[in-house]
Amino acid sequence: MRIRRLPFPLAVLLVLALVQGLAWSVMTVPFNGPDEPGHIAYTQLLAETGHGPNSSSGRGSVSTEVARAEYELNIAPNVGHYDGRPTWSALARVSRALEHIPAAQRKDGTGPNAVAPNPPLYYAYAALAYRLSPNQSLLGRLFAMRAATVLLYVLTVGLMWLVAGEIFARPWLRFLATAIVALQPKLASLAGNVNPDTLLVTISTGFVLAGLRLVRRGPSPGRVAAVALLAGLGALTHGRGLFLLVPAVLVIVVALVRARPPSRVAVRQAAIATAALLPCLVTAYLWTRSNSGGAFGGEVGRAAEQSFSPSQFLSYLWQFYLPKLGFMSPMLGPPYGYRQFFIDTFFGGFANFEVGFRPAVYDRLQELVFVGFVALLLAAVLRRRAVRARWPEILFLASGVVALLGLLHISSYRDLQVGGDPLITGRYLLPLIAAFGLAISWVIGSLPRRLAPWAGAIVLAGFVLLDIEGFLLNAQRFYG
């Protein structure tokens, strides 16, 4: 088999992703990613015992080894403290001490662990890195897990290149869409942590590729199976991955309806999809049910028990995006909405949200996102013939956006109903990163042909600046 030479622009973006992901992982003190101690504890327990932690009981939320590292290096007390630093001078002493702890102290992080309701796929992958790490110290293993997560990010960028190739004929638009993904600072920061969200982003991007190929080239057993399997892997990675089921069903139905295969073939392909999807769903269901109060942390059970008021939900949704109207009751929960979700924590809010850009940067980003959204609508109207011609692709991409936003808002609303947190943050949007890159590039590509490359260059420069500034801010926070 002849391996085709990697195109230079793609090679640049893959190397950039690798360098960037590793740099973020080096420049973030261990345990300081979002919920990272919980994810590390889950991975360690799985690697050491083959079992996942429990959400409500156990001998400790992290193992004795992890707890000692967190506290003796003075890391845990400083999580979220912008000026907090570990005790550098204790590193050699603590590392030596941890080398001699009994094996049992690596296996006692059995719970309660807040991330125990997560399905096991990412943790199994990270557990491989934990086991295979060339350095078997705790910090060595942590870095190996982070480096393995960086590889998922590199894969995401590679998949995005293929996704953009399905949509854009012009090479520079393909490059722009991929570069936007490679230069999204929140995604890069997450890649440097132990966190299943990065795998969900990789799977979602692969899913977009599979779905686009299915609607563009027509159904085949392989294409249908790829869509269904990736939707299943999403559910095996995180509860939020369930959103992929909606576009998966839709894209398979659209592809079959458009191709009008004989009913025998259609039934066979539906069976293939079911065979690819069902084992993943069943495994995710059984695994999460066994480790927490119910499947996916009880979310499935509560959906049936908890009341749902459509008018209250609509009021919540309106006030999330727009100012409250006179007849509406006050917003549920804290003042948290569009700005925090789509801007502050989608582009920034690194580590445990204590690292971020200056408020003026967020203000400009908010304006630019608004202008971009209006431009997208305008371009869709002006290029309505092109939009009509490619309705299956657009319907597929839009269904993914609507499904994820719907899932997040419903989940957030239900939590707010019982007085909890909004449970909705910008990194949850990252599975839509492919649609984000495609939308920006499509708008730029809709500009007059002589103007478009100049606009593309400016957008690219903006992402370069944002991305590297995010990295510098984070490095300053932890080691500056």
Partner 1 sequence: MARRAALLGLAVALAGALYWWQPFLSRERLVVTSTPSPGPIGPSVGIPLGPGSRACVAPAAIDRSTGQAQFTLAPRTQPASVVLEAEAPGYRSRREVTIAPNAKAQSVRAPLASPPHDVTGSICVRNAGRSPIGLAGTNNPVWIGLATTSVDGRKLDGQAVALTLLEPERQSLLDRLGTIVHRASDFTGHLMPFWLAWVLVVALVIGTPFAVFAAFWATLRTDEPG
Backbone angles phi, psi at 355, to 5 degrees: -110, 125
At a CB cut-off of 8 Å and minimum separation 6, what does 476 contact?
Answer: none
* HEC assignment per residue over 392-452: HHHHHHHHHHHHHHHHHHHHHHHHHHCCCCCCCCHHHHHHHHHHHHHHHHHHHHCCCCCCH
Of the pair 21, 392, the CB lying nearest partner 1 is at 21
- C-alpha closest to that of 209 among 186, 187, 227: 227
**Residues in contact with partner 1, total (CB under 8 A)?**
77
Q: Does 176 bind partner 1 (CB under 8 A)?
A: yes
Q: Which stretch binds partner 1 (CB under 8 A): 215-223, 233-241, 366-374, 471-479?
A: 471-479
Q: Is 23 in the site for partner 1 (CB under 8 A)?
A: yes
Nearest CB to partner 1, comparing residues 373 and 454: 454
474 binds partner 1 (CB under 8 A): no
Q: Which of residues 88-127 bind partner 1 (CB under 8 A)?
A: 88-91, 95
Q: Using CB under 8 A, which of 4, 260, 264, 450 touches partner 1?
A: 450
> Coil, strand, or helix at residue 479?
helix
> Exposure pattern of 304-316 as b/e (b: 16+ CB <10 Å)?
eeeeeeeebbebb
Nearest to 433 by CA among 154, 245, 177: 177
Question: CB neighbours (10 Å) of residue 50?
Answer: 9
Smallest gap from residue 463 Cβ to partner 1 (A): 9
Q: Distance between CA 219 and CA 215 in Å, rounded?
A: 7
| Contacting residue, 1, 50, 134, 419, with partner 1 by CB under 8 A | 134
Q: In one letter, which amino acid is 326?
A: G
Whether 185 contacts 348, CB under 8 Å: yes
Which of 45, 144, 177, 343 touches partner 1 by CB under 8 A? 144
| Member of 6, 104, 171, 406 binding partner 1 (CB under 8 A) | 171
User: Residue 190 CB, nearest distance to partner 1 (Å)?
Assistant: 16
Task: Rule CB under 8 A: choose which of 174, 213, 223, 240 binds partner 1.
Answer: 174
* Closer by beta carbon to partner 1, 44 or else 319: 44
What is the smallest separation between the CB atom of 101 and partner 1, expressed in angstroms?
A: 15
Q: Which residues, 6 or more positions from 118, have their beta carbon under 8 angstroms from its beta carbon? A: 42, 196, 237, 238, 239, 288
- Coil, strand or helix at 355: strand
> Residues 60, 66, 67, CA angle at the centre, nearest 5°?
60
CA 156 to chain CA mean position, Å: 11
**253 near partner 1, judged by CB under 8 A:** no
Q: Which of 42, 130, 153, 172 binds partner 1 (CB under 8 A)?
A: 172
Cα–Cα distance for residue pair 381/375, rounded to 1 Å: 10
- Contact between 157 and partner 1 by CB under 8 A: the answer reads no
Query: Residue 373 CB, nearest distance to partner 1 (Å)?
Result: 23
Asked whether position 461 contacts partner 1 by CB under 8 A, the answer is yes
DSSP state of 284: H
Asked if residue 467 binds partner 1 (CB under 8 A), the reply is: yes
Position among 6, 57, 81, 257 found at the interface with partner 1 (CB under 8 A): 81
CB of 262 to partner 1, least distance (A): 42
Residue 20 in the binding site for partner 1 (CB under 8 A):
yes
The CA distance from 292 to 274, in Å, is 26
Residue 19 or 253 with smaller CB distance to partner 1? 19
Nearer to partner 1 by Cβ, of 7 and 279: the residue is 7
3-state secondary structure of 115: coil
Is position 5 an interface residue for partner 1 (rule: CB under 8 A)? Answer: no
The two tokens of residue 276 are 């690819």
Bridge partners of 60, per DSSP, are 111
**Residue 19 touches partner 1, criterion: CB under 8 A:** yes
Q: Which is nearer to partner 1, 171 or 334 (CB)?
A: 171
Specify the residue, 179 or 416, whose C-beta has the smaller distance to partner 1: 179
165 binds partner 1 (CB under 8 A): no
Toward partner 1, which CB reaches closer, 16 or 403? 16
Whose Cβ is closer to partner 1: residue 91's or residue 97's? 91
> Is the backbone of residue 334 left (phi > 0), alpha (psi -120 to 50) or beta?
beta
Selected range binding partner 1 among 21-29, 224-232, 288-296, 432-440, rule: CB under 8 A: 21-29
Site for partner 1, residues 215 to 244, rule: CB under 8 A: none
Q: Could you say which of 47, 66, 126, 142 contacts partner 1 (CB under 8 A)?
A: 142
Q: Per CB under 8 A, does 249 bind partner 1?
A: no
Within residues 330-359, the interface with partner 1 by CB under 8 A covers: 354
Smallest distance, Å, CB 20 to partner 1?
6
Q: Which of 60, 140, 221, 301 binds partner 1 (CB under 8 A)?
A: 140
Residue 182 · residue 169 · CB < 8 Å = no
Query: Least distance from C-beta 95 to partner 1, angstroms?
Result: 8
Integer Rg of the chain from CA: 23
Give the pair of three-digit tokens for residue 325: 């109207």
Cis peptide before 112 (omega within 30 of 0): yes
